[in-house]
Structure 1
Amino acid sequence: MAKSDGCSYFRRSSLFWIVTVTVSLGFFTWTVFWPQDVPYGSLGPLGALAKHLVDYHYSVLYYGWYLTWVIHLFEALYALKVCSDKGIDNTSTRMLWFAQTFLYGIASLGLLLKYKPDGRPKRQ
């Protein structure tokens, strides 16, 4: 959804990225917090890799999960700055960019970075 008014520009990430990131982070969360419930044998090579990581590198998975969300938070905060720089002033639109970037990361931030506003001066 893109509006012609530059101060309220928002574009949703593609369905491909929404599904990919949701399934990936969901599986990551499942393996970190409920590793005993994951059907590793039914997942083929992905299950074997996940089982190996859970058995031998669990602390990396655990801290990596938190690092993933910290990175997404910083991307979302950066999205707010980019909104300001590009003249997107509408509060609800800025919150949409923040939420979408927090959930889907660079798949959302990339859309915002590609946006070229009309000739209005940048905000400082």
Structure 2
Amino acid sequence: MAKTDGCDYFKRTSLFWIVTVTLAVGYFTCTVFAPEKIPFQSLGPFGTFCRYLVDNYADIMYKGWWAAFAIHVFEAFVALRVCSNKGINSTTTRCLWFVQTFLFGFASLGLLLKYDPERPKQH
């Protein structure tokens, strides 16, 4: 979806990062907000560790969840700024970068930062 002038450049993050970040954030969210739904005893040592964190550090985990959320929001706004700096002017494309970076963080922002609109594409 890239035009020759680069104003519509968008690249989807890899499936690996989509799955990894979705599962990690989903698990963290459940651990913080609904730990009773997680079968910690079925997760072996990882479950034991997570249960320990829930029992002893729930407040820190709650604050950590909000910190992660804030970081993702910040990264999404950085993506908008980078779009402006790189000449990506299409509103739709900028929204795609914003949403993707909010959801997947640096896995998305890294792709945008690597984009060099001045360098010709190699085929």
RMSD between superposed Cα atoms in Å: 1.0
**Any idea what the Cα deviations from partners look like across 1:71-115, whole Å, max 9, x if unmatched?**
000000000000000000000000000000000000000000000
User: How far off is 1:67 after superposition?
Assistant: 0.7
Tell me the distance in 2 between the aligned counterparts of 1:87 and 1:7.
6
1:32 equivalent to 2:42? Answer no
Q: How high is the sequence identity, in percent, across the aligned residues?
A: 57
**Any idea what the Cα deviations from partners look like across 1:27-74, whole Å, max 9, x if unmatched?**
001111111121001111221111010011000111111111100000
Within a 5 Å distance, the mapping from 1:30-109 to structure 2 comes to 30-109=30-109
Tell me the distance in 1 between the aligned counterparts of 2:40 and 2:92.
42
TM-score by length of 2: 0.92
How many residues in Structure 1 have an aligned counterpart in Structure 2? 118
TM-score by length of 1: 0.92
Q: What residue ranges of structure 2 are gaps of 5+ in the alignment?
A: none
Q: What residue ranges of structure 1 are gaps of 5+ in the alignment?
A: 120-124
Amino acid at match of 1:75: E
Amino acid at match of 2:21: V
Amino acid at match of 1:39: P
User: How far off is 1:118 after superposition?
Assistant: 2.2
Off by >6 Å, runs of 4+ in structure 1 = none
The match for 1:21 is 21
User: How far off is 1:4 after superposition?
Assistant: 3.5
Aligned to 2:7, what secondary structure does the other structure show? helix
